[in-house]
Amino acid sequence: MTEAPEATIPQRYPFSDPDRLMLDPRYAQLRREEPLTRVRMPFGEPTWLATRHADVRTVLGDPRFSRAAAVGRDEPRSTPQQLDGGILSMDPPDHTRLRRLVAKAFTARRVEELRPRTRALAEELVDGMLAAGPPADLVAHVATPLPIRVICELLGVPVADQDRFHTWSEAIVSTTSLPPEQIQHYIGSLYAYMGELIARRRVEPTDDLLGAMVRARDADDRLSEEEVVQLAAGLLAAGHETTVTQIPNMVYVLLNHPDQWDRLRTEPALVPGAVEELMRFIPLGAGAAFARYALEDVELGGVLVRAGEPVVVSIPSANRDESVFAEADRLDLTRAANPHLGFGHGVHHCVGAQLARMELQVVLETLTVRAPRLRLAVPEAELTWKSGLLVRGLVALPVAW
């Protein structure tokens, strides 16, 4: 076990600007030579960066590392402003109290009940894209509307308002795509919107998730008013934003691996495993976020992390760890053992993971059946990628068939 020399100057992080869905080779070097390294993010105090699968799991799952301890600290981050992370800034038992309330809506059983409706919606959207004729933008026709409509039905949010809250939701994943004052305005608008829906639920009770959250606030006193608003807004934003991004990411990767696309098209039973492999293979995060603070001295990756020091993790790097995944840089839709961390780990494991899995499976199944000859409609160089966000994704994905 070693300690970093006091004179060590932390290196700048992220190491480079995102390049499509390519993972910076610096991560592989660090996994081999310095799995826990000191870095300085654009804002906040210096931090440790964990790059190996085992260390990332420890930081995400070990109660000696705390999210709540970040409150009041100059947390390492990619954004100039520090945002109130709501449930993402909590540790148990407060975190458990909020998560238990919403977890019932995302159980495997509840998600499977939603599958037929989601499949019908995917078929409707894909058929609409095909009817529009090539070239067509997969993002606009399928990837954006499907997750929005599903989460709206689950929560009880009017889908007619999607243009408004989808715009506001960018504030949740923005680093530099929006100025700080715009981020604050959008988040304030999202909170105000959810506050209005909550007030309406008190007059007209419903059986949806939002109605259940209001009852937990008013009848059971399990939530504060602020917690109801923040939790509802977070579920609405997170419940569609990443899936909207991952659908075109997955299709893009598959179309750039035509042998894998062909195999998926002819062997539909591979779809569930393919989604897991694509979650592993695609470096969705543009950089690390949500630092955990050590509550005591912890040995991690052969290094002593002192109590009070922050650690951030690279999930994309952990998902390419050669000690866990054979031929980690190769896309293999038949990969048997796949303990990827694409949905996180520990108490903050994505509460909507089962819903996202189902939506991604349904979209891939529908596309392989309805559009088996799908292909990119423009050269790679003409694709435009989002920038200034915590996640990587395409602005548009023009396809033909």
Coil, helix or strand at residue 300: strand
Mean pLDDT for 257-269 is: 95
Does residue 247 register a pLDDT over 90? yes
Give the pairing type, strands 310-313 and 375-376: unpaired
For residues 98 and 87, the answer to whether their CB atoms sit within 8 Å is yes
pLDDT at position 7, please? 41
pTM equals 0.91
Mean pLDDT for 246-265 is: 96
Rounded mean pLDDT of the chain?
Answer: 91
Does residue 160 register a pLDDT over 50? yes
pLDDT at position 212, please? 83
pLDDT at position 220, please? 67
pLDDT per position as a tens digit, 342-370: 999 999 999 899 999 999 999 999 999 99
Does residue 228 register a pLDDT over 80? yes
286 vs 265: CA distance, rounded Å: 30
Mean pLDDT for 77-82 is: 84
Mean pLDDT for 212-220 is: 76
Backbone angles phi, psi at 400, to 5 degrees: -135, 175
Does residue 66 register a pLDDT over 90? yes
Backbone angles phi, psi at 136, to 5 degrees: -130, 145
At 170, which helix (H) or strand (E)? helix 162-173
Mean pLDDT for 85-96 is: 87
Angle, alpha carbons 185-187-190 (nearest 5°): 110
**More confident position, 107 or 245:** 245
pLDDT at position 155, please? 87
Domains and CATH numbers, the chain: 11-391 (1.10.630.10)
Does residue 58 register a pLDDT over 90? yes
360 vs 144: CA distance, rounded Å: 12
Mean pLDDT for 31-56 is: 97
340 vs 319: CA distance, rounded Å: 6
